[in-house]
């Protein structure tokens, strides 16, 4: 019996191409990915607008909607539900100066219109969740943009979406850098503060990705509890990350087991998932994996989450309370490490 409902994106099965080398594995057709993900134990699929409808720029109106309906049937046939749609605003050449925060009004308008397509796809698929990873909203050259105006543009774009569909809710996925040098919304704190500037703060929350918090020098579990305290933790992307480098999307728990444990512990302690939230992964297979072995990062991550659930549930809470009482935190530290080491 699984402890959470799990989700993952089709981009998490990939060819291993990186900025320094070509693909090392075959591209897996979308329908095969779906079947394999279901088999591994996932319940839901995360989708960018163009994962859902390839070349989404080329379609609109009833054609767009009928393609989304076909996908809905395809997902139903496999037994996966859609978790969210995310407009992919970082690949089109019109977003090279940013999307919602581009200096050109015409290009900002493109970003907003493209986002409406994500809303339409979401509506057809039957999900209310729109994820915004604000990939290119930031700077390399500080003088190139006004930070205050950038926040105003972001609020304007979010309000535009909230107004266009009164049922959707927006999950901001903060990340401090990559591909930009300095992001306008680098952390969960910034994302939450931004939510309160919008016209419907109750429909704007966050998705916390472990690696993104780590890249900001923060502890993912702390970002999660901060969002939980605001009742705005609506999604997570569990993975791992070795220090302040590029976004590594390592298998969950593979770098820092205690940090991974604490993410699972806070999710359990605060009944994450009871209102339908999914535990999402955003992990990449190492480039060394051949075609057949390029799914282990997914099954291993699920395995580690479930193992850590067992660890969190078997913690002797009375011992923790006693150490909180007498503030013997050295002993608390030892107790946790010993518990994680097992017998």
Binding site for Mn ion (CB under 5 A): 209, 237, 282
Residue 295 CB, shortest distance to ligand XUL, in Å, is 18
**Residue 299 CB-half CA count within 13 A:** 10
The residues near 268 (Cβ < 8 Å, ≥ 6 apart) are 3, 309, 312, 313
Our measurement of the distance from residue 119's CA atom to the centroid of its chain's CA atoms, rounded to an integer in Å, reads: 17
Tokens of 151: 């926040």
Contact between 49 and ligand XUL by CB under 6 A: the answer reads: no
Contact between 203 and ligand XUL by CB under 6 A: the answer reads: no
Burial zone of 142 (CB within 10 Å; 0-12 exposed, 13-18 middle, 19+ buried): exposed
Q: Classify strands 182-183 and 81-86 as parallel, antiparallel or unpaired.
A: unpaired
Residue nearer to ligand XUL on the CB measure, 89 or 312: 89
Residue 176 CB, shortest distance to ligand XUL, in Å, is 11
Report what 86 binds from ligand XUL, Mn ion, none; CB cut-off 5-8 Å by kind.
ligand XUL
Question: C-alpha distances in angstroms, 99 versus 19, 212, 253, 310?
Answer: 22, 20, 33, 43
| Stretch 111-150 residues interacting with ligand XUL (CB under 6 A) | 131, 133
Answer yes or no: are the C-beta atoms of 192 and 207 closer than 8 Å: no
Report what 51 binds from Mn ion, ligand XUL, none; CB cut-off 5-8 Å by kind.
none
Residue 133 CB, shortest distance to ligand XUL, in Å, is 4
Contact between 173 and ligand XUL by CB under 6 A: the answer reads: yes
| Stretch 253-312 residues interacting with ligand XUL (CB under 6 A) | 282
Residue nearer to Mn ion on the CB measure, 209 or 223: 209
Contacts to ligand XUL by CB under 6 A: 86, 131, 133, 173, 175, 209, 237, 247, 282
């Amino acid at each position: 019996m699984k402890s959470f409902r799990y989700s993952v994106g089709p981009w998490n099965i990939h060819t291993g191409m990186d900025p320094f080398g070509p693909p090392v594995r075959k591209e897996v057709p979308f329908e095969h990915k779906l079947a394999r993900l279901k088999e591994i134990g996932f319940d839901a699929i995360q989708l960018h607008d163009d994962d859902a409808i390839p070349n989404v720029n080329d379609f609109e109106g009833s054609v767009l909607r009928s393609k989304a309906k076909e996908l809905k049937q395809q997902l139903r046939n496999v037994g996966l539900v859609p978790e969210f749609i995310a407009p992919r605003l970082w690949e089109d050449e019109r977003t090279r100066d940013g999307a919602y925060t581009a200096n050109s009004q015409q290009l900002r308008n493109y970003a907003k219109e493209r986002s409406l397509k994500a809303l339409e796809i979401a509506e057809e698929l039957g999900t209310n969740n729109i994820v915004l990873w604000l990939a290119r909203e930031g700077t390399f050259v500080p003088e190139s943009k006004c930070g205050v105006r950038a926040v105003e543009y972001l609020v304007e774009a979010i309000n535009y979406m909230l107004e266009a569909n009164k049922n959707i809710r927006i999950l901001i996925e903060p990340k401090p850098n990559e591909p930009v040098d300095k992001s306008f919304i680098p952390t969960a704190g910034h994302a939450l503060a931004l939510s309160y500037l919008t016209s419907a703060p109750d429909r704007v929350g966050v998705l916390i990705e472990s690696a993104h918090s780590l890249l900001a020098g923060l502890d993912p579990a702390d970002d999660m509890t901060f969002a939980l305290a605001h009742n705005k933790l609506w999604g997570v992307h569990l993975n791992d990350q070795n220090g302040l480098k590029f976004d590594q999307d390592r298998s969950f728990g593979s770098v820092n087991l205690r940090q991974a444990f604490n993410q699972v512990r806070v999710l359990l302690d605060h009944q994450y998932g009871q209102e339908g939230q999914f535990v999402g992964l955003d992990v990449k297979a190492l480039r060394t994996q051949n075609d057949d072995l390029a799914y282990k990062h997914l099954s291993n991550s699920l395995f580690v989450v479930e193992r850590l659930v067992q660890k969190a549930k078997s913690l002797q809470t009375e011992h923790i309370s006693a150490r909180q009482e007498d503030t013997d935190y050295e002993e608390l530290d030892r107790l946790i490490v010993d518990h994680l080491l097992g017998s």
